[in-house]
Each structure stands twice: as C-alpha cells, then as structure tokens.
C-alpha cells in the first residue's frame, strides 16, 4: 500500500511530536549597540524596535533580556572619537571594555561576546589600517591583537573577529594564549559575504565606509567553494565556532559548513533581513510574527547551532508562551 504522508500532519499534536527542527531561546545571541555618551536610548530608524543605548541606560535592555531567558549578547560599540586606526577599540577605558565590565559585574549569568573589528572605530569606516585606499591585512592584524587583548582583560566570554582578515584567528589565538587567556573561545566570522543586507547595521553603528566598499576583504556572494576554504582556514588557526553571515541568502553555505566541519555553526540573521520583515509586517503584506519564526526556523534547519538575531527578544516571548501552554 502506498504510504499516506498526510496522516502525520492531521493534528497539531501529531505535527509537534514529529517536528524535526525546534527553536530554543538558548539558540539566540542578541546584538547590543552601546554608544559612548550619556542618557541615550535612540531607536535606529531602519531597524524598528532596535536601539542604541548609552552605558548608563543599558540596564533597561539587559533587564528585559535576562527576564526573557536569553543568555548571550554580542556587543558593538560607537565611540566618542574615531581615528585612522580605530585606536579607541583597544583603549582599556573604551566603550566596549567598559560595557563588558559592567555586564559581567551586574549580569553575571549573561555570556558576553565582543565583536572584534574596526569599522565602528575608524574615521574612514573600513575594517582596518588603510594603505593606498585599501585595508592592509598584516598591519590590521597587529591592531586586532590589541583589541582582542583589551576585551579579554575586561572579562569578555568570547571573541568574534568580523573583519575577514587573513590569519586573524591565528593572531588573536596567539595573543590570548600568550597572556593567559587560553580559555576564551573564538567565534570566527569565517564566511562573511560582501552583502547589501548590511545597510541598516551601518546606520546603527556609524560604520559605513566613507569611500569604496569592502569587496577586497569580504567574500564574493557568487562563491560557494571558497566558503569551505575560508572555514577550513579558521579551523586550522584555532577557531572554536564557525559563522556564516548573512544567513537567509546563504542557507546553502550554512548547510555546507554543517556537513563538512565538526564544530558548532553560527549564523548571523543580519540587519537587512530584519528590516525587510519589519517593513513588510508594518505594511500588512505579511504576518510578521509567523514570517519571523519561519525565518529563524529555516536558519536552524539549515544547520545553525547559534543564531545571532535582532528578533531574539520577540522570538523568546513567543517560545516562552508556547512552553507555558504545553
């Protein structure tokens, strides 16, 4: 007799018991934008519901995060001053170092991940030291070591280098290990594409390049096999987690990494992906809540063990309500 596959979809109880992929609140990392100023809570126009906070008001966001059961955040800083090298990023009293110390003191259960890059800190908006209007890979590595060490000294739980510099993971691993921080894991932005989906983030972090683009260091969206080479390089250099960014247009890459590497896989559900769902929901063109949850589910189904997403709070509320009903 031919199998009737619809029999397994008759009721919600049956569908739920046979569901292959399930989201958990612990899957999420929530991004935070922290501005070096006072009394700041400023909504990002292109990312409705997402705010920049000054450190004296970040507790408003952190209290809610903890109450919802989200256990991880990733920090992005907006410094008061910028220069050609992004030197504020390794200032021991820089905004992110202050934020790390504040969170670890006042919210000790939260795991704090720190972005390691320079686009938020340089006056030109590129991800490192410029030579002949391009980022010099090896000069940038010197500064990446400084930035990572400053974050480690502040008490960060995890380092996440995002600039797509060759050998970044190796250099950071060596710097951390040589100063007694062998225990701090590295989540590499192993496969980061030069994507048009980053636009709203650049509003959030004041990180748009003042000229040109980032195609000489971020990956070409057309390339799939190169992603495996980039991920393998990070594995060889000591990465503990591999990331794909963005997520939705690169679900095939998430699956490729899941199939080929025995490490946790992270995916960044980026600002443009968030903004599109928010805009369509506001206009009544989609059911925003259902599309949000379907989107996050698709990222996990593709193979992501960790999802960095601006939807973390909204999704957590839904998952908590679902758990209460069950």
Q: Which residues are catalytic?
A: 192, 245
The owner of tokens 């408003």 is: 60
For residue 230, the number of C-alpha atoms closer than 13 Å in the C-beta half-sphere is 29
> What is the Cα–Cα distance from 160 to 182, expressed in whole angstroms?
15
Query: What would the two tokens of residue 212 be?
Result: 């040109």
Strands 51-54 and 28-35: parallel
Query: What would the two tokens of residue 256 be?
Result: 């490729």
What's the gap between Cα 170 and its chain centre? 20
- Sequence-distant (6+) residues with CB within 8 A of 221 are 193, 194, 195, 249
Q: How far apart, in Å, are the Cα atoms of 258 and each of 22, 148, 214?
A: 17, 27, 26
């Amino acid at each position: 007799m031919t199998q009737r596959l619809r029999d397994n979809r008759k009721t919600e109880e049956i569908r739920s018991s046979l569901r292959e992929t399930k989201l958990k609140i612990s899957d999420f990392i929530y991004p935070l934008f922290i501005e070096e100023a006072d009394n700041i809570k400023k909504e990002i126009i292109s990312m409705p519901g997402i705010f920049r906070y000054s450190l004296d008001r970040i507790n408003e966001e952190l209290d809610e995060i903890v109450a919802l059961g989200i256990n991880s955040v990733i920090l992005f800083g907006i410094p008061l001053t910028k220069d050609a090298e992004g030197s504020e990023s390794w200032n021991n009293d820089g905004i992110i170092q202050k934020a790390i110390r504040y969170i670890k003191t006042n919210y000790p259960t939260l795991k704090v991940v720190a972005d390691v890059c320079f686009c938020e800190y340089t006056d030109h908006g590129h991800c490192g030291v410029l030579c002949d209007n391009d980022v010099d890979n090896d000069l940038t590595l010197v500064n990446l070591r400084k930035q990572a060490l400053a974050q480690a000294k502040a008490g960060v739980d995890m380092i996440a280098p995002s600039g797509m510099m060759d050998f970044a993971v190796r250099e950071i691993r060596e710097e951390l290990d040589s100063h007694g921080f062998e225990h701090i894991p590295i989540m590499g932005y192993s496969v980061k594409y030069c994507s048009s989906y980053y636009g709203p983030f650049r509003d959030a972090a004041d990180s748009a390049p003042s000229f040109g683009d980032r195609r000489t260091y971020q990956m070409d969206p057309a390339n799939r096999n190169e992603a495996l080479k980039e991920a393998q390089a990070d594995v060889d250099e000591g990465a503990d987690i591999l990331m794909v960014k963005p997520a939705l247009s690169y679900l095939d890459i998430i699956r490729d990494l899941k199939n080929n590497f025995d490490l946790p896989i992270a995916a960044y559900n980026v600002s443009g992906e968030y903004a599109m769902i928010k805009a369509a929901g506001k206009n009544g063109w989609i059911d925003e809540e259902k599309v949000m949850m379907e989107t996050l589910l698709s990222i996990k189904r593709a193979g992501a063990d960790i999802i960095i997403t601006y939807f973390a709070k909204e999704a957590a509320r839904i998952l908590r309500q679902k758990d209460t009903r069950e």
